[in-house]
Amino acid sequence: MNREMEKVKYPIGEFSHTGPITSAMISAWIDEIAALPDEMRAAIRDLTPEQLDTPYRPGGWTLRQVVHHVADSHLNSYVRFKWALTEDRPAIKTYFEERWAELPDYREPLELSLDFLELLHKRWVVLLRSLDEAALSREFVHPDSGLVSLAKNVGIYAWHGRHHVAHITTLRERMGW
């Protein structure tokens, strides 16, 4: 993939973290997760149906699919947190995101996923803010990534939200919307 397309696909770069995860980092990441529903609403505000049905990159999802995907992905992450908090290193199930994006509910009004995301994040943030160091060190087994700590997963999902908001905002900038 050429450098320009890489920047369109990963407008804020790929998630990367090495070294210890501090309580300050966790707190900042949780704040980002808490802010995401409002940021997502702001990112799509005043877009027309035609604009929402525009892919953010050639061969990529439409903005509508991106919003619905974030709701689905964050629901899956929330469930993974619950599993890891209540089971010993559970093996999680992945899903075919690209197939989910083709299902009929991805053509529904975005308000459904925006409202869902807002409520989900309210619950998720309550859970995240209640976790101590021992809870954050709990892990799940991802079939592709191996062991993932809950602390790292907080960072991954803070990044994930920013990543997809940036898909929308950078397309808006490129298109002059």
Alpha carbon distance 42, 35 (integer Å): 11
**Ordered alpha helix ranges (H), the chain:** 3-9, 23-44, 49-52, 63-86, 97-100, 110-130, 133-136, 150-175
Mean pLDDT value across residues 134-157: 97
Query: Model's pTM, two decimal places?
Result: 0.95
- C-alpha distances (whole Å) from 126 to each of 18, 24, 26, 30, 119 are 26, 17, 13, 10, 11
For the chain, domain boundaries: 22-175
Model confidence pLDDT, tens digit, residues 89-134 = 999 999 999 999 999 999 999 999 999 999 999 999 999 999 999 9
Model confidence pLDDT, tens digit, residues 2-35 = 888 889 999 999 999 989 999 999 999 999 999 9
The pLDDT, as a whole number, for residue 1 is 61
Question: How many percent of the chain have pLDDT more than 70?
Answer: 99
Alpha carbon distance 68, 70 (integer Å): 6
With a cut of 70, say whether residue 137 has pLDDT above it: yes
Specify whether the backbone of 60 is left (phi greater than 0), alpha (psi in -120 to 50) or beta.
beta
Q: Please say whether the structural domain 22-175 has been given the CATH code 1.20.120.450.
A: yes
The pLDDT, as a whole number, for residue 146 is 95
Alpha carbon distance 128, 132 (integer Å): 9
Mean pLDDT value across residues 64-78: 98
With a cut of 70, say whether residue 62 has pLDDT above it: yes
